């Protein structure tokens, strides 16, 4: 039975075989919250092994040596067997040549028309952290889109990258919350702060910027409520109390100082 992915592969192969100068088809790779690949709005199915190769290359954000890809994805195999497994994976996936992955004898990289949600979020977060005086509503919208990188995958090579992306996004959300609060854009500040808290409920710095946003919006009661939430979470999870700095902030809230 033919699937939409089969038909799409045939269309892409036909374009390549006749040598017509077509623009590369727009692929969209989603890695935040789970793996999903689409082309021109249609789901594009890949075997799991090919998904892992594509995701690994996408995480590098630059051309990567084939030997490195093989060694990381097939850790328990010899170099020769790992390289053979990579070749077999690429062949079995029937990837449209040059569209999803650009391959040389030594390197792999993403095709020029592949857009990755993870890359969008990383660019946005880096822009916010480098230009804290000029974040925009678009920055907020980008950072609100998220979730962990491939949370249902348990590969060792994902652990560091998943945490790197998570921390960068949280830092950027906190920076946005602080910026919007100081600019009097209270709704956006609170959205950013809530997203940071949701991303890591035990993160004191996220609760702190959200409390300050509530204070700036004239809602000390909401700020105190946020402190109590953090206090309860820390006690239940870690047996800890909020820092003295947080205690001073809640005292300020209770005294009505904004």
Report pLDDT digits (tens) over 213-222: 999 999 999 9
Q: 126 with 79, same domain?
A: no
CA distance 16 to 22: 8
Q: 148 with 73, same domain?
A: no
The total number of structural domains in the chain stands at 2
Q: 80 with 182, same domain?
A: no
pLDDT of 34 higher than 50: yes
Quote the tokens at residue 37: 């690949």
Q: 105 with 131, same domain?
A: no
Q: What is the CATH number of the domain that holds 143?
A: 1.25.40.10
Q: Which domain-ending residue is among 79, 111, 143?
A: 111
pLDDT of 202 higher than 90: yes
3-class DSSP state of 108: strand
Q: 95 with 141, same domain?
A: no
Q: Which domain-ending residue is among 60, 79, 111?
A: 111
pLDDT of residue 31: 97
pLDDT of residue 196: 98
**Beta carbons within 10 angstroms of residue 112's beta carbon:** 11
CA distance 73 to 39: 25
Mean pLDDT value of segment 241-256: 88
| Nearest to 117, CA basis, from 27, 55, 33, 30 | 30
Q: 132 with 232, same domain?
A: yes
pLDDT of 11 higher than 60: no
Report pLDDT digits (tens) over 120-151: 999 999 999 998 777 889 999 999 987 899 99
Alpha helices (H) along the chain: 4-18, 48-60, 66-73, 79-93, 117-130, 137-144, 156-182, 186-199, 204-216, 220-238, 244-254
pTM, entire model: 0.86
Which of 225 and 7 is assigned the larger pLDDT? 225
- What does the mean pLDDT of the chain come to? 88
Q: What is the CATH number of the domain that holds 31?
A: 1.10.10.10
Q: 107 with 137, same domain?
A: no
- Domain containing 154 equals 116-254
């Amino acid at each position: 039975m033919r699937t939409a992915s089969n038909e799409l592969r045939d269309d892409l192969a036909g374009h390549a075989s006749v040598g017509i100068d077509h623009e590369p088809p727009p692929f969209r790779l989603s890695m935040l919250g789970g793996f999903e690949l689409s082309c021109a709005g249609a789901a594009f199915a890949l075997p799991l092994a090919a998904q892992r190769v594509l995701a690994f290359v996408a995480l590098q954000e630059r051309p990567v040596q084939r030997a490195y890809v093989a060694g990381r994805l097939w850790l328990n195999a010899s170099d020769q067997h790992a390289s053979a497994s990579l070749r077999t994976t690429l062949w079995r996936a029937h990837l449209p040549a040059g569209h999803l992955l650009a391959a040389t004898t030594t390197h792999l990289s993403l095709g020029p028309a592949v857009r990755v949600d993870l890359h969008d979020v990383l660019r946005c977060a880096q822009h916010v952290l480098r230009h804290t005086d000029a974040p925009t509503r678009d920055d907020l919208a980008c950072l609100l889109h998220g979730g962990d990188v491939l949370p249902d995958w348990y590969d060792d090579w994902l652990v560091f990258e998943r945490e790197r992306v998570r921390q960068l996004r949280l830092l950027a959300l906190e920076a946005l919350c602080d910026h919007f609060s100081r600019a009097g854009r209270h709704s956006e500040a609170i959205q950013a702060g809530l997203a940071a808290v949701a991303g890591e409920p035990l993160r004191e710095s996220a609760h702190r910027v959200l409390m300050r946003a509530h204070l700036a919006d004239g809602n000390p009661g909401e700020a105190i409520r946020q402190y109590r939430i953090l206090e309860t979470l820390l006690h239940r999870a870690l047996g800890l109390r909020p820092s003295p700095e947080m205690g001073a902030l809640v005292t300020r809230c209770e005294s009505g100082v904004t």
